[in-house]
Amino acid sequence: MTMRPLPSNLKHINLILAAGGNLAGRYPLRTLVLIFSLAAILFPFLTALSISEGIKLQSKISVDEGADFYVSGDSAGSAAPLPLSSVDRFRGIDEIDRIVPRIVGRAYLQERTVAIVGMPGGAVPESILIDGGRPIQNKGEVIVGSTLSRRYGLHPGVKFYMPINRWKRFTVAGVFSSRCSIWSSSLIYMSLDDAGELFRMKGMATDLLIYAKPRQSPVVSVYLQNENQKDPPFRIQSRDLVNSFFQKGFESRAGVFTVFYLAAFALAIPLIFILTGLGWTERRREIGTLKAVGWQTLDVMQVAFWENVYVSVLSACLALAAAYVWIHALNGFMIAQFFVAEPGLMPDFPVPARFVPVPAFLAFLLALALTMTGSLYNTWRMAATLPAETLR
């Protein structure tokens, strides 16, 4: 009795289920080991890319919410402070909404470098402060980052000074919430006058923040470049320029990281070869038997392919879940320090992270590529050979 051909989708379903049966029914332990091994290889990759995406998001906000232009002095090609009177050079430009001088510097607080930001007035919204603090109201008051507050006990009301200027005393008025971004964690925010006194640069600013009126940035840019023809020269960075490089910078870094990871990944290939090749003699004979009873080469290949797909999906998902837990429950313990320049096994601020689909899909593709490398060629070689050879 000859079988009538049945719909081909049933055939494919059978082959997919056969692949799953091989993994879960016949070799469950080996399958588990393979999945966990792959997940262990993929998990740092996903964790790192998620941190990169998290920093990218926060950086984007920094760019979008910052000024349209950053103007600083020029000293032999490096940034230099400029006098507050420089503001007068730009006052005549109608398309400018406002100009804000700023001092940004760094100093040491005990052994730690901290960022100092001084802005005119020092106004800070209360919503970004943790409970118990308040905005700056008096001279000498500062808002500190959450890490500094925790590490050095700088709670509201505490007075301190910094080695850079022992005569300048500060009082903590409030503490930035850790939701503000990673750059708030080690920041000391004060008034422009206080920053000028701290750094002994009264009447100076490290940069001028120029905010253009809506849609007037291109016009302001031209004015600024014209103004820059005169002496003394200054350095200008525009939001548009920063934006164009910002995206490319992150993608380039992520790309470089991925390439390096692939190279390291290659070291995992021998491990995967061993794991997927376990029982390779048995598998060879099995393929020979299947061919002998009428399985086509493509049928055998399809089963091998779906086995790899199953393993890749499960390992990528497991790696993502592990990365998620590692970031959100363990705050990137041990791993975050390699991707955010913050000393210590456990960062003392919430590690920024975003789990977006592309890295997850990339992890799946990596796992698939690795398992295919380990098995598909050999499977094809066996399946395409005459059964008598493989059955020997």
Partner 1 sequence: MGGKKGASLRGSLASSGFKLTIAAAAAACVAVVLMALDSSKNGSFSDMSAMGLFQRTVGGLGMGSAATPAWNLLHYDPRLQSVDDSNMWPVAGGYPYSPSAVSTAAGIRELAREDLEIIRVGP
Partner 2 sequence: MGRDDFAMVKAENVSKTYRLSKQNRVEALRHVTISVAKGQSVIIRGASGSGKSTLLRLLGFLDRPSAGRIFHDGEDVTGFSEEELCRIRSERIGFVFQDFRLLPRMAAWENASVSLVPLGVREKDRLRRASALLDQLGLHDRIYHRPEEMSGGEQQRLAMARALIRSPELLLADEPTSNIDADSARKALEILAGLRSRGCTIVMATHDVDLFHPFEADAVYCLANGMIEPV
Binding mask 118-157 for partner 1 (x = CB under 8 A): -x---xxx-xx------------------x----------
| Cβ proximity to partner 1, 193 vs 385, nearer residue | 193
Counting Cα atoms < 13 Å in the Cβ hemisphere of 382 gives: 26
Residue 165 binds: one of partner 1, partner 2, none (C-beta under 5 to 8 A by kind): none
Sites for partner 1 among residues 335-374 (CB under 8 A) = 339-342, 347, 349, 353-357, 360
**Single-letter residue type at 98:** R
Among 62, 225, 252, 296, binds partner 2 (CB under 8 A): 296
CB of 290 to partner 2, least distance (A): 7
* DSSP 8-state class, residue 346: S
Give the one entry of partner 1, partner 2, none that residue 146 binds, where binding means its C-beta sits below a cut-off of 5 to 8 angstroms depending on kind.
none
Should residue 297 be labelled a site residue for partner 2 when binding is judged by CB under 8 A? yes
39 binds partner 1 (CB under 8 A): no
Binding-residue total with partner 2 (CB under 8 A): 39
Residue with tokens 């079988």: 3
Q: Applying CB under 8 A, which part among 219-227, 284-292, 369-377, 384-392 lies near partner 1?
A: 219-227
Out of 87, 164, 321, 391, the residue judged to bind partner 1 by CB under 8 A: 321
Which of 32, 158, 241, 386 lies at the binding interface for partner 1 (CB under 8 A)? Answer: 241
- Give the nearest distance from C-beta 383 to partner 2 in angstroms: 9
Please, which residue, 278 or 346, has the CB nearer to partner 2?
A: 278
> Would you tell me how many other CB atoms lie within 10 Å of the CB of residue 285?
16
237 near partner 1, rule: CB under 8 A = yes
Binding partner of 320, given partner 1, partner 2, none, CB within 5-8 angstroms per partner class? partner 1
Size of the site for partner 1 (CB under 8 A): 102
Q: At 107, is the secondary structure helix, strand, or coil?
A: strand
User: Is the CB of residue 128 less than 8 Å from the CB of residue 145?
Assistant: no
CA distances in angstroms from 9 to 6, 22, 307, listed in the order given: 9, 20, 18
Backbone phi, psi, residue 286, to 5°? -65, -45
Structure tokens at 26: 């016949």
b/e burial code for range 366-391 (CB count within 10 A of at least 16 → b): bbbebbbbbbbebbbebbebebeebe
Which 353-382 positions form the footprint of partner 2 (CB under 8 A)?
none
How many residues belong to the chain?
392
- Give whole-number Cα distances, 93 to 90, 97, 219, 230, 237, in Å: 6, 9, 9, 16, 17
Phi-psi region of 383 (alpha: psi -120 to 50; beta: other; left: phi over 0): alpha
Sign of CA dihedral 127, 132, 138, 139: negative
* Nearest distance from C-beta of residue 384 to partner 1, angstroms: 25
For partner 1, which stretch binds (CB under 8 A), given 113-121, 153-161, 277-285, 286-294?
Answer: 113-121
Using rule CB under 8 A, residue 294 touches partner 2: yes
Q: Which does 331 bind (CB under 5 to 8 A by kind): partner 1, partner 2, none?
A: none
Continuous H helices in 192-233:
192-198, 217-227
Establish if 57 lies at the interface with partner 1 (CB under 8 A). yes
Positions touching partner 2 (CB under 8 A) are 1-3, 5-15, 17-18, 25-27, 282, 285-286, 288-297, 299, 384, 386-389, 391
